[in-house]
Amino acid sequence: MKKSNKYFSSLAKSSAYIYVALVIIIAFFTIRESLYAGIALIICSVVMLMHLFLERHSRMQKMKKYFDQLSGEAMAQSSQLMFNIPDPIAGVKIDGAFAWYNNPFHEAFYRSDFGRKLCEIFPDVHVRDIIADGGKHPINVSYNGMEYRIIPTIINDTDPEKPALILYFENVTDVNRLHQLAIDAQPVVMNITIDNYGETIADAGENEQLELTASVDRALIGWANLMGGLIRKLERDRYVAVFSNEAFEKIKEDKFSVLSDVKNVSLVSMAPPTISIGVGLGGDTIADCDNYARMALDMALGRGGDQAAVCDSGKFSYFGGSAKDVEKRTRVKARVMATALREHILSSSNVIIMGHREADADAVGAAIGLACVASHLDRDAKILLNTTDTAVLSLVENINRNHYHDGLFVGRTQVRDYIADSTLLIICDTHRPSLTEMPELLDLIKHKAMLDHHRKSESFIEDCDLVYHEPAASSTCEMVTEILMYTDGGLSLSTIDATALYAGIVLDTKNFVLKTGARTFEAAAYLRNAGVDTVKVKQFFRESPESYRIRNDLISAAEIDEHGVCVSISDEEIPQSVAAQAADSMLDIEGVRASFVVFRDGDGVRISGRSLGEINVQLIAEYMGGGGHAMAAAAQLGRTSVRDGAARLREAIDEYCK
C-alpha cells in the first residue's frame, strides 16, 4: 500500500501542502518577534501535516476496501497495479466527477484542470453516452497536442458516490503520427492521355506538331515536379505518373489545375489539346493502384475526356469535365461495330431490345433501327416498351395504325415468352442497369449487347458481349443510323423507320442545336434520303393544351441565381417529358447558362436539367445521385419533399461552381 500511496494524488499533494509550507515560513519570521507565537504556528503546522497524512492513509484504506468489495481478492491484487501503471487511469462518477485517479492522470490532465469534470476536460466524452453504448467502443480524444484512446470499463454499482466507469487512457500520439506517415507515403498511380491528339495535329506541319508535343510535355513535367511526383512518357500521347498520397491531396486541393494548363499551351493554328487522367489509389500493391488507374482512365474517356477520374479502392470521383465531347473524324469504329453486331445477331435465335425506363424518342427510334437490322438478317426481334412519353406513343400509334412491324412491341409480362438460351438482348440509350426498362432481363439473358451515347458512370452493365459506347455522338439514333449505313446486303429503310430514327436525333440535339457535328448531319442526310417525313416528326412532338399550360407555368415560376442557373420548382406531379421541355425552353432566356426543374414524382422528387454546354449539368446531377451527359441530365431523389430537393440542387450547383 505504501507504493500505491506514492502514486496517489489528492489535495494533500497540491493545495494543502502549499498552505502548510506558507505557515512554516510565516512561523520562521514570527518567532523573531514573538517566541510563543512562532511556537504556536509551528505546532499548528505539525498538526496540519499529521492530519494530511492520516487523511491520505484513510482514503487509501477506503479505496482498497472498495476494490476488495468490488471484485474480491483478485481485484484487490490488481488494484495495486492500477496505481502503478505508467498510463493515466481514473474512476468517474455518474455525474462526470472524478472519484479517484493515479499520478500519470494528474500529471497529464488534472494539473491545469483540477476540480473539473470529465465533460469539461473532454467536451465530447459523456459518462451516460458511454454507459448507453455499453462501453464497447474506445474513444479518441486530443489534449494539449497529444492524442489519447480512452478504453472504458463500466462498473455495475448504483452508488452515485462511487465510480460508474474506469477510464484507461492510452497515449497514441506516436502511433497515429506513424500511421499518418504511412498513409502519406502510399503510392498514387496516374495514367494520362491526350484526348484529341490526332485531331489536333491532323492539319499541322511537322514543326508545329513537335512544338505542341514539347509544350504539353513541359506542362505535364512541370506540374509533376511542382507537386513532388514522377512522370514518364510511354507513347506520343500517353504518360504514366506516380505521386505520394500526401502530394495527391495537394493535387485535389488544386482541382487538377494541369487540365487547364495543358489547354493553354495550344498554338494559334491548332485546336487546344485536352487530357484525361485516370488516378488509382487505395490498392494493396502498386499493381492494384495501376489497375485502378486504368479503370479510372476508361471512366474519364467514357465521360467525354478533359477530366480526371479518381478510383479509390473502387470508388470514383471526378474533377474537371468542362470541355465538350470531341467528335471523331474516322468511321472505322462504326464500321467495326456494325460488323460485330451483325455476327452477334446471326449467332442468336432471336433478339430482344430494350431502352431505359420511360423510353423517349431516342431510345425507341434506336430500338426500331436495331429491329430493322435483325429483320434484315432473318431474326425475329421484339422491343420491350412501357412508357408514357407522348411523342413515343404517337410514333407507336402511327406504326400500329399502318400495320408496320406487327407485334414488334411487347410488355414486361409478354417478353418472358420470347427468352431462349441463344436470345440476344440489346440495350440502347443507357448503360446503367438500374435505369433499364426491365433490369431482371440482364440476369435472365446470357448474351447482351449495349449501345449508348451518355457519359460513362460507375454503374455500368457488366458481361456484355458487345459494347458500343460513344459519348461524342449526338444520340443513340445517330449511332444506329451509322450501323445501318455499314450493314451488308443493301438494307433499305421504310419511311416510318427512317422517321423514328430522325425523331430521336431531333429530340437529343434539340433540332440540331446541341451536340451536333458533321456526322450528325450526315446521318440525318442518310435518313432524309430514306424518306423521312419531317412534318410527321414535328407532329410527334406536339404538346397537349394541359402540357403547354404546365410548361408555361414552370417557366413563369423560374428564378435565375448569381451563377446564371435558372431553377423552377413545382409541388405538382407532372410528366417527366413536360419538365424536360420546360428546362429546354428556359435556356432561351437571356443570361441563362443552365436550367433545372424540380418537381414531385410520386412520393419522391425528380430533377431535370439542361444546358447549352457552358455548365456541365451531368456533374451537378451526379452530385445528387443522378446522371446523363453534359447538356442534359436528371436525378431522382426518392422519398423527400420538393423543398428538400431544391435545397440539394442548390447545394450541388454551389459545389460545382466552386
Q: What is the pLDDT of residues 371-389, one digit of tens each?
A: 999 999 999 999 999 988 8
Per-residue pLDDT at 77: 46
As a whole number, mean pLDDT of residues 43-62 equals: 68
CA angle 602, 605, 608 (to 5 degrees): 120
Question: What average pLDDT does the structure give for the chain?
Answer: 84
As a whole number, mean pLDDT of residues 613-630 equals: 84
Looking at per-residue pLDDT, the higher value among 47 and 422 belongs to 422
What CATH number should be reported for the domain whose range is 186-320? 3.30.70.270
The answer to whether residues 277 and 195 touch, using CB atoms and an 8 Å cutoff, is: no
CA distance 335 to 484: 10
Most confident of the following: 95-99, 293-297, 513-517: 293-297
As a whole number, mean pLDDT of residues 142-156 equals: 87
Looking at 168-177, 315-324, 486-495, which range is the least confident one? 315-324
Per-residue pLDDT at 10: 42
Q: 88-183 falls under which CATH superfamily?
A: PAS domain (3.30.450.20)
CA distance 310 to 190: 9
Evaluate if residue 569 carries a pLDDT over 60.
Answer: yes
Instruction: Give the pLDDT band of residue 2 (cuts 50, 70, 90).
Output: very low
Q: Which residues of 449-461 are buried (b: 16+ CB within 10 A; e: fewer)?
A: bbbbbbbbbbebb
The answer to whether residues 500 and 364 touch, using CB atoms and an 8 Å cutoff, is: yes
Evaluate if residue 268 carries a pLDDT over 90.
Answer: no
pLDDT above 70: percentage of residues in the chain:
83
Per-residue pLDDT at 75: 43
Burial class for 169, CB neighbours closer than 10 Å (0-12, 13-18, 19+): buried
Per-residue pLDDT at 226: 92
Looking at 267-276, 459-468, 589-598, which range is the least confident one? 267-276
Instruction: Give the pLDDT band of residue 416 (cuts 50, 70, 90).
Output: very high
Give how far the C-alpha of residue 84 lies from the chain's centroid of Cα atoms, to the nearest Å. Answer: 50
What CATH number should be reported for the domain whose range is 546-657? 3.10.310.30
Looking at per-residue pLDDT, the higher value among 29 and 399 belongs to 399
Reduced to 3 states, what is the DSSP secondary structure of residue 317? strand
Instruction: Give the pLDDT band of residue 513 (cuts 50, 70, 90).
Output: confident
Instruction: Give the pLDDT band of residue 631 (cuts 50, 70, 90).
Output: confident
Instruction: Give the pLDDT band of residue 346 (cuts 50, 70, 90).
Output: very high
Per-residue pLDDT at 456: 79
Looking at 58-67, 304-313, 509-518, which range is the least confident one? 58-67
Instruction: Please state at what angle helix 545-556 crosses helix 576-586, rounded to 10 degrees.
Output: 50
Looking at per-residue pLDDT, the higher value among 104 and 31 belongs to 104
163-217: per-residue pLDDT in tens?
678 899 999 988 888 888 888 889 999 999 998 777 766 666 778 778 888 889 9
Per-residue pLDDT at 422: 94
Would you list the domain boundaries of the chain? 1-84, 88-183, 186-320, 343-540, 546-657
Per-residue pLDDT at 158: 56
354-363: per-residue pLDDT in tens?
999 889 999 9
As a whole number, mean pLDDT of residues 342-355 equals: 95
Evaluate if residue 554 carries a pLDDT over 90.
Answer: yes
As a whole number, mean pLDDT of residues 292-296 equals: 92
Tell the CATH topology of 343-540.
Answer: inorganic pyrophosphatase (n-terminal core) (3.90.1640)
Per-residue pLDDT at 223: 94
Instruction: Give the pLDDT band of residue 455 (cuts 50, 70, 90).
Output: confident
61-94: per-residue pLDDT in tens?
665 565 555 444 444 444 555 666 788 988 888 8
Evaluate if residue 126 carries a pLDDT over 70.
Answer: yes
Q: What is the DSSP string of 100-141?
A: EEBHHHIIIIITTSTT--HHHHSTT--HHHHHHHTT-S-EEE
